[in-house]
Homo-oligomer: A and B are copies of this chain.
């Protein structure tokens, strides 16, 4: 009987989930138990995957946005035969060194597409996956052609980022995005009606989504049919609200928030086994028959993969250039000579804003790297990231590198993560630096996932002037430096901009933020200055003391490097041997070998002055106990930027005075 067969496998998910949570003595059994039939239907009847080849490029993507239901995903991976997901791993749920952490981690566990847990972001990241799929499909003649499936919870849909992403997905008409909403009417704090009474489906229809409802989340046929209809909807993303029962199978805890985030307890687990008619008392025992439907699905996927690989060979014959590009991009390799045509900037005392030189570099990068895909959150003109020659991605044009994200910073960053995670494309976004706060949770996930997401952050200090303190980042540069595995790059002139972009592009294991000015800065004459090193080393000697025996070192980043240079001239003229060090990227500088760091910042030279138009907190690291940090430990103000620099004492005079004081 098929029904029994389905039921056995569905209950296997429930049993594994409750057993693993119990063994860990922590975790979330309710959602996996409620969602078991939904996930089973999706995975065995729709999802195209090959458990033996989790990285197959044309697999359907599956995102569990409510990451706390991680045992659902681990159960699916185990039952489907993903080799890494042994029963031993399930037994080690939430333990040190396991592949089964409390929330799924893409960087850790084969078969996990997106690191989830922080609610809303799995949903939003899936929009990026679907964007990348649509883009690659059109560019490579449907060689890439798959669905993106998401399971999400009410919590995901309450989070603002899901609104931004849903609105964007509806606008873009991402028809191959199918979201199953776990409509279980229970949140951690109780029933959803204590805080969440909106009409979710009507809202998604307003976004331009196809919506439907499955009244019984245990009805495999109804689930199957709803997914089928959603897949046929080619112009609209789909949201299927599935009415599930949290903790289904637990006689006393089903449909209550007590099954949400705690183990059921041994007694309740025994009762649940009875309720589910699960004959095996032994913990973690799963009969072979329960694996069968999943293995069949994976075998089907393996055939699809084999067929896809053949079609790729045929494509390589008929379209060798495109096939080579696709292969390169899927491998994550940069094209030979990609740096050759990046702009080099001649010395220029007037110079240009680093957002302007950044715009020139981005234009060249778009050309050199067709995988570069992104845009701005409605500040393209200010960020200088829009280059229309490379097409604008919308519902009528998919083979395009520019995206209009709208005023949706957080969804932009999450989508950029999804574009990177898909493979084949490289996602980037752009906005003012102050709005990095709006997307910070997605920057953090990029860092945690080791995804090389890119962000252009312009208007990077009080140097933006009149817009005032709401728009002036003060703490942002330093606070982003706090984030593990995040690179902050704040170049000081146009050539540093190019070098910082090079370093960011070459980075494969984490995200980078380019921090750029609104106001002009000079382009330095490195030949004349005896520059040693460059921005690709994170920090370097921009200008040496005439006698190469510095008494004092001035350390700057970004627009304040030029203040250091002015001070350098005055100090050397005054007979104080002075060196200028530019450290556009602290993380990269700290990754250099000790000899370079000592060469740049010799321990013996303790007279040091730093200049950065932001909080001074943190500069202790480079200036030591004796040093002076020139900066701004308060919010900014609205006025022309020259006035602000003067009022806040971030000036050449201040640097000169501090240096003289020290020596």
Within the complex, the shortest CB–CB distance from A328 to chain B, in Å, comes to 31
A624: interface (CB < 8 Å): yes
Q: Is the CB of A189 within 8 A of B381?
A: yes
A22: interface (CB < 8 Å): no
Within the complex, the shortest CB–CB distance from A458 to chain B, in Å, comes to 13
Q: Would A639 and B189 be within 8 Å (CB), given that A468-B105, A471-B117 are in contact?
A: no
A479: interface (CB < 8 Å): yes
A618-663 contacts to B, CB under 8 A, are: 618, 620-621, 624-625, 633-635, 637-640, 643-644, 647
Q: Is the CB of B189 within 8 A of A168?
A: no
A588-643 contacts to B, CB under 8 A, are: 615, 617-618, 620-621, 624-625, 633-635, 637-640, 643
Q: Is the CB of B448 within 8 A of A444?
A: no
Partner of A168, one of B118, B195, B404, B440: B195
A406: interface (CB < 8 Å): yes
Q: Would A117 and B468 be within 8 Å (CB), given that A202-B206, A408-B158, A410-B160 are in contact?
A: yes
Q: How many copies does the complex hold?
A: 2
Q: Would A170 and B187 be within 8 Å (CB), given that A102-B467, A448-B635, A638-B103 are in contact?
A: no
Q: Would A441 and B437 be within 8 Å (CB), given that A203-B207, A482-B482 are in contact?
A: yes
Which chain B residue has the least Cβ–Cβ distance from A382? B188
Q: Is the CB of B471 within 8 A of A102?
A: yes
Q: Is the CB of A196 within 8 A of B468?
A: no
Whole-angstrom CA separation of A475 from B27 in the bound complex: 24
The stretch of A39-47, A92-100, A314-322, A532-540 in contact with B is A92-100
Q: Is the CB of B96 within 8 A of A637?
A: yes
Which chain B residues border A447 with CB–CB below 8 Å? 635
Q: Is the CB of A434 within 8 A of B118?
A: yes
Which chain B residues border A95 with CB–CB below 8 Å? 638-640, 643
Partner of A96, one of B116, B163, B469, B647: B647
Within the complex, the shortest CB–CB distance from A657 to chain B, in Å, comes to 22
Whole-angstrom CA separation of A483 from B98 in the bound complex: 36
Which chain B residues border A485 with CB–CB below 8 Å? 634-635
Q: Is the CB of B118 within 8 A of A470?
A: yes
12 more contacts with CB within 8 A, not counting A94-B466, A102-B470, A103-B638, are: A105-B470, A115-B470, A117-B467, A160-B162, A187-B406, A188-B379, A194-B394, A195-B404, A475-B482, A478-B482, A479-B479, A481-B617
| Interface pairs A-B: 6 shortest CB-CB | A160-B160, A101-B638, A195-B406, A163-B163, A117-B470, A620-B620
Binding site for B on A (CB under 8 A): 24, 26-27, 67, 94-98, 100-103, 105, 115-120, 154-156, 158-164, 167-168, 170-171, 187-190, 194-200, 202-203, 205-208, 376, 378-382, 386, 392, 394, 404-411, 434-435, 437-438, 440-441, 444-445, 447-448, 465-471, 474-475, 478-479, 481-485, 615, 617-618, 620-621, 624-625, 633-635, 637-640, 643-644, 647
What are 12 A-to-B residue pairs whose CB atoms are below 8 Å?
Answer: A101-B638, A105-B468, A118-B470, A160-B161, A160-B163, A171-B196, A189-B381, A203-B203, A445-B470, A484-B615, A484-B635, A485-B634
